[in-house]
Amino acid sequence: MQNIADKLQISKNAVSLALMGKKGVSEEVRNLVQQAAREMGYGPYAPKTGGNANLLVVVPERIMSYQDNDHFQFFHDMIWGLEKSARKQGCNAVITPLDQEMEASLTLPGQFVDIPYRGVILFGITNRNYARLIWELNTPLVMMDSYHRDLPCPAVTSANLDGAAEAVAYLIERGHREIGFIGPTNLSTSHEERWFGYEQAMLKAGFPLRPEFCLTTSHGYDYTSREIAAFLDHIQEWPSAFFCANDRMGYLLAGLLKERGLRVPEDISIAGFDDLHYFSDEGLNMTTMRVEKERMCDAAMALLLSDLSRVREALHWQVQPTLVVRGSVQPK
C-alpha cells in the first residue's frame, strides 16, 4: 500500500479507503488507486492464478468504523498485514466486508459464490451464530484475534492471559497493591482472557480482588465513556492503579479521572493492552502490552495454508505480546 501511495503521491490511509470501498476519497482517487493496484499486481487486483490462490478474509464492518480513527488504524494494520502475509505465500487475501444486516440475517458475502477460494480467515469479534455458519461450510477456516470455544477450529490470538498477567505484575512491582480492572469480559474471549491474567497476577501476589474496582460487563461491542463514568461514580475510595483490557478504555479512563480531579499517573497509574496510538490532550503515553500484529498475521496464514486448517479441533496459536513501559505508570 505504501508503494501505491508513493506512486500516486497520496496518503497510505487514502489507499486503504479506496481499496476497501469506504467513504473518504473521491471516485477519481478510487479509480487511480485501483488502476495502480492492477499495474503493480497488488493482492486481489493481481492477475488471477486460480482458485487455490484466493483466501477470503471476512471482516465485520463495525470494527473498521471510520469514526474511530485509532481502532481503525489498529485493525487496518492487522487486515493489510494479512494481505502482506498472503502475498509472501503466493496467495491473494480477498478482503470481504461483513455488514451488520448480513451478519444478523446469516447471509454470506457474494465472494463466497463469485470466486473460487482456498480457505477463510474470520477476523475480529463476530456473532457466534454467524461464525457457526462459516464453520459449518466445512472449508479450511482460521479465526483470528477472537474465537468461540464451542466452534472447534484453529485460532490465532495474542497471548492475552500471559500478557495481562505480565502487565499487572509490572504494576505490582512498582508498588501497587489496590489495582482495578476495566474490560468487557462478556464481549470476547480476548477480554475474558485478559481478566483471567489480571486475576492470576493478583492472586499470585496474594492481593484480594475487590469487585468495586472492577468493571467487567458491557451491553455493546465496547465500553462507552458513559458506562465507565457510571462505574467511577460508585467508587468510594480509589485504587492506586487500573489495568484496562485495551488502550482505548485506558485513555477514556484517564480523561474521566481528570474530570474528577485525579491525575495520571501522580494519583492513579494506568496500564493498557494493544499499543493503540491515541492522542491525549494531556500528552499521556500509555504503558501497555504491544500486540505483535505482524507475527499474528504470519501465524494465521501459516495455519490456513497447512493441513491443520481442516482439523475440527480447537487448536490455539498464541503470539506473546511485548510490555512497553511509558509514562502512565509511576511507583506507588
In order, the DSSP letters of 260-281 are TT--TTTT-EEE-SB------T
- Rounded Cα–Cα distance for residues 317 and 299 (Å): 8
Which tens digits make up the pLDDT trace of 281-306? Answer: 667 899 999 999 999 999 999 999 99
Quote the pLDDT of residue 44: 55
Mean pLDDT of the chain: 89
Residue, of 243 and 307, whose pLDDT is higher: 243
8 Å CB contact between 126 and 100: no
Nearest-10 crossing angle of helices 12-19, 69-88: 80
Residues 204-219 have pLDDT tens digits of 999 999 999 999 998 7
Contact between 179 and 202 (Cβ < 8 Å): yes
Could you tell me which residue, 190 or 40, shows the higher pLDDT? 190
**Residue 240 three-state SS:** coil
Q: What is the mean pLDDT of residues 33-62?
A: 74
CA distances (Å), 72 to each of 68, 75, 85, 276, in order? 6, 5, 20, 10
Question: What is the mean predicted confidence (pLDDT) over 125-144?
Answer: 92
Rounded to whole angstroms, how far apart are CA atoms 310 and 304?
8
User: H helices within 89-146, ranges in order?
Assistant: 100-105, 111-114, 128-135
pLDDT of 320 strictly over 80: yes
Could you tell me if 297 and 85 are in contact, meaning their C-beta atoms sit under 8 angstroms apart? yes
